[in-house]
Amino acid sequence: MKLNLPKIASSEITPQAVFEKRRELIKMAAGGALGLELSSWFSREAFATNKIQVKPNPSYTLMEKTTALKDVTSYNNFYEFGTDKADPIAYASSLVTSPWKVSIEGLVGKPKVFDIEDLRKLVPLEERIYRLRCVEGWSMVIPWVGYSLSNLLKLVEPLGSAKYVEFVSLADKKQMRGVNSSVLQWPYVEGLRLDEANHPLTLLTLGLYGDVLPNQNGAPVRVVVPWKYGFKSGKSIVKIRLVEKQPATSWNISIPSEYGFYSNVNPEVDHPRWSQASERRIGDEKGFFAPKIKTLKFNGYGDQVASLYAGMDLTKFY
């Protein structure tokens, strides 16, 4: 299956031009002058080959160089296709992403099975530029396409007893060669507290770089939780379950001392086998030898999310 990627390489959008535009955009948002001008710039210049109608959300942008599309789509963790960074791009073409359904169930008043097409149309799609920090010590800056997960959760009317949300990825040996391996317990399951899932930053993600998600990035729908380590953001989701108790999650089951349920990005709490104080930005000119940059607490989203953890000992709830 051929990937449906935009024809312009991200490298053709010069970073300086992008910064200027983002700066302008933020000013406009601050002045309340959003709207036509903004969306026309994005559709004319940056995303001339868009397959998806997206509007940049200036509240969720960054003054950082975005990671080139080729790096975003060729250096991946998606163990359902193998454990090597190059496995997902090599083998994820076997994943059939249409038709695709996502069932939202559990402690909700109105459980519902959504077709992927309906999820794409639920509310207007936004472009949001987020940092993604992998627990392994590398990071990227990715222009995602999607909307706050809260838009979807409120439709199914969570019951008062619902305290956590469980995200279940597809696990089909026929389409996913890595599922034959016992490296993790399948299906891949991740979870959030309900208030984390409802935080506006938590993105139900349907695309990147102005197009649908490439298979290796979790097509056709994934979650992105930018203040947490990347493994909290499950790919190719088929089920979302609202539950009362903290769900058992794949990485926590396999190595609980290394991968906690919270997994907020935290340079002050080291992984038992390595420091989390710094990170390497993928795609930097000097490649593997690029100087490390400092990791920010909550991946730089502390102003927005620190209050979710008020009073909690983050060395204990890692």
Ligand X SMILES: Nc1nc2c(c(=O)[nH]1)N[C@H]1C(S)=C(S)[C@@H](COP(=O)(O)O)O[C@H]1N2
Q: Using CB under 5 A as the criterion, which residues of the chain lie in contact with Mo ion when the complex forms?
A: 77, 134, 230-231
Among 57, 61, 66, 76, binds ligand X (CB under 6 A): 76
Give 236: exposed, middle or buried? Use CB within 10 Å, 0-12, 13-18, 19+: buried
Q: What does the alpha-carbon distance between residue 169 and residue 261 come to, in Å, rounded to a whole number?
A: 17
CB of 217 to ligand X, least distance (A): 4
Chosen from ligand X, Mo ion, none, partner binding at 78 (C-beta under 5 to 8 Å by type): ligand X
* Residue with the shortest CB distance to ligand X: 230
- The answer to whether residue 280 forms part of the interface with ligand X (CB under 6 A) is no
Q: What angle do CA 20, 22, 24 make, to 5 degrees?
A: 70
78 binds ligand X (CB under 6 A): yes
Q: Tell me the window of 73-81, 156-164, 191-199, 291-299 that interacts with ligand X (CB under 6 A).
A: 73-81
Q: Which one of 25, 134, 192, 242 is in contact with ligand X (CB under 6 A)? A: 134
- Written as six digits, the tokens of 110 are 């109105």
Q: Which is nearer to ligand X, 233 or 295 (CB)?
A: 233
Least Cβ distance, residue 142 to ligand X (angstroms): 7
Minimum Å gap between C-beta 46 and ligand X is 20
Here's the x/- map for ligand X, 21-60, by CB under 6 A: it reads as: ----------------------------------------
**Please, what is the minimum distance in Å from the beta carbon of residue 38 to ligand X?**
26
In the complex, minimum distance from the CB of residue 225 to Mo ion, in angstroms, rounded to a whole number:
12
Residues 162-201 that bind ligand X (CB under 6 A): 169, 188
Say if CB 288 and CB 281 are below 8 A apart: no
By beta-carbon proximity to Mo ion, the closer residue of 214 and 230 is 230
List residues near ligand X by CB under 6 A: 76-80, 132, 134, 169, 188, 217-218, 230-231, 233-236
